[in-house]
């Protein structure tokens, strides 16, 4: 009887397939976590958001909701472990607005690097960043390049979706065309309406302007860190007044499909790890490199 109990426990452990495992990291038990690392092909998703104003009609956590939702929907279709809510982001451009949580540049760098280190230490060797916050783009580009500064025992990938013009056209047909649609505008408002409809209030979208003020047009060919504030001081770019869930679902489903394909490609990828290893080996002995 004792041997049967051991066999049954072992059978249950082995038979714990991906469809039985939670894909939210916070829901995994420690024994399940071990299985999840293997079932995910040692691949994890890090969805990144932020706390910032999203016009007068959307919640501060909009980017968190959207990034997390895309990650979870994709992980349900292609098993991957999804890291919990992550909001340590670059958001200095919105410090003048209430509710913005803007950590120092050094802290956001260190927290991200240590999060990747810890995921790797726990067995994940391919980590995909899913960024929901446009203010992170320059930061993540540089962070990604800086990964080459020393040897890593994981590979980092950053999912960058493209938006199908036909999907956008269909979404606009049931909502509106928004010429300034960048931040809290028609698309983002509609996506969130499809995720958490009770938190989006299109009827309030017209309380502030999301029009580009273009206050640095006197400086062509010049970059300044104040550029976003110069253009959109309300931290609102676009018009969310016609946002609706139908339009949001069209865009959301298109991005999720792209992300599912990306996860599969990353799991199968050998190029990034091999090239990373080759580069760092050559970087250690640059004079040996044939010229």
Domain at 99, CATH number: 3.40.50.10310
141 domain-assigned: yes
Beta carbons of 73 and 256 less than 8 angstroms apart: yes
286 domain-assigned: no
CA angle 268, 163, 193 (to 5 degrees): 110
DSSP state of 242: T
Give the Cα separation of 156 and 126 in Å (integer): 6
Residue 5 pLDDT level (bands cut at 50, 70, 90): low
Q: What is the mean pLDDT of residues 23-35?
A: 98
Beta carbons of 252 and 191 less than 8 angstroms apart: yes
Question: Is 289 strand, coil or helix?
Answer: coil
Predicted pLDDT at 253: 98
Beta carbons of 139 and 92 less than 8 angstroms apart: no
111 lies in which domain range?
20-268
Tokens representing 246 are: 């139908």
Give the Cα separation of 231 and 217 in Å (integer): 10
Q: Maximum distance among all alpha carbons in the chain?
A: 84
CA angle 209, 213, 214 (to 5 degrees): 155
7 domain-assigned: no
150 domain-assigned: yes
- Whole-number percent of the chain with pLDDT over 90: 92
4 domain-assigned: no
Residue range 135-157, pLDDT digits in tens: 999 999 999 999 999 999 999 99
Residue 51 pLDDT level (bands cut at 50, 70, 90): very high
Domains identified in the chain, total number: 1
Q: Which residues pair with 30 in a beta bridge?
A: none
175 alpha carbon, distance to own chain's centre: 25
- Whole-number percent of the chain with pLDDT over 70: 93
278 domain-assigned: no
Predicted pLDDT at 122: 98
Beta carbons of 212 and 230 less than 8 angstroms apart: no
CA distances from 130 to 13, 82, 109, 159, 282 (A): 31, 10, 16, 6, 30
Tokens representing 22 are: 């939670």
Our CA dihedral for 58, 197, 251, 143, rounded to 10 degrees, sits at 50
Residue 221 half-sphere exposure toward CB, CA atoms < 13 A: 0
Give the Cα separation of 97 and 54 in Å (integer): 10
112 domain-assigned: yes
Q: Is the pLDDT of residue 270 over 70?
A: yes
15 domain-assigned: no
Residue 6 pLDDT level (bands cut at 50, 70, 90): very low
Beta carbons of 66 and 191 less than 8 angstroms apart: yes
CA distances from 31 to 15, 26, 42, 62, 83 (A): 13, 13, 15, 33, 17
Q: Is the pLDDT of residue 280 over 70?
A: yes
Predicted pLDDT at 1: 52
Q: Is the pLDDT of residue 224 over 90?
A: yes
């Amino acid at each position: 009887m004792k041997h049967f109990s051991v066999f049954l426990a072992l059978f249950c452990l082995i038979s714990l397939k991906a469809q039985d495992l939670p894909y939210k990291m916070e829901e995994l038990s420690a024994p399940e976590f071990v299985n999840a690392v293997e079932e995910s092909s040692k691949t994890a998703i890090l969805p990144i958001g932020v706390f910032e104003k999203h016009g007068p009609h959307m919640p501060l956590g909009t980017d968190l909701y959207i990034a997390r939702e895309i990650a979870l929907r994709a992980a349900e279709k292609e098993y991957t472990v999804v890291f919990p809510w992550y909001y340590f982001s670059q958001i200095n451009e919105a410090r003048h607005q209430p509710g913005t949580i803007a950590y120092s540049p050094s802290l956001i760098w260190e927290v991200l690097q240590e999060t990747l280190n810890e995921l790797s230490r726990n067995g994940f060797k391919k980590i995909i960043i899913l960024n929901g916050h446009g203010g992170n783009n320059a930061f993540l580009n540089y962070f990604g390049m800086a990964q080459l500064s020393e040897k890593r025992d994981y590979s980092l990938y950053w999912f960058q979706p493209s938006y199908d013009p036909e999907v956008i056209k269909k979404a606009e047909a049931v909502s509106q065309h928004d010429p300034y649609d960048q931040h809290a505008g028609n698309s983002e408002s509609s996506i969130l309406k499809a995720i958490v409809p009770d938190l989006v209030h299109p009827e309030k979208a017209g309380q502030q302007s999301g029009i580009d003020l273009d206050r640095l047009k006197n400086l062509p060919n010049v970059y300044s860190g104040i550029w976003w504030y110069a253009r959109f001081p309300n931290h609102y770019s676009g018009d969310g007044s016609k946002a609706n869930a139908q339009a949001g679902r069209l865009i959301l489903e298109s991005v999720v499909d792209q992300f599912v394909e990306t996860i599969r490609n990353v799991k199968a990828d050998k190029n990034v790890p091999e090239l990373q290893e080759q580069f760092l080996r050559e970087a250690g002995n640059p004079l040996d490199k044939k010229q």
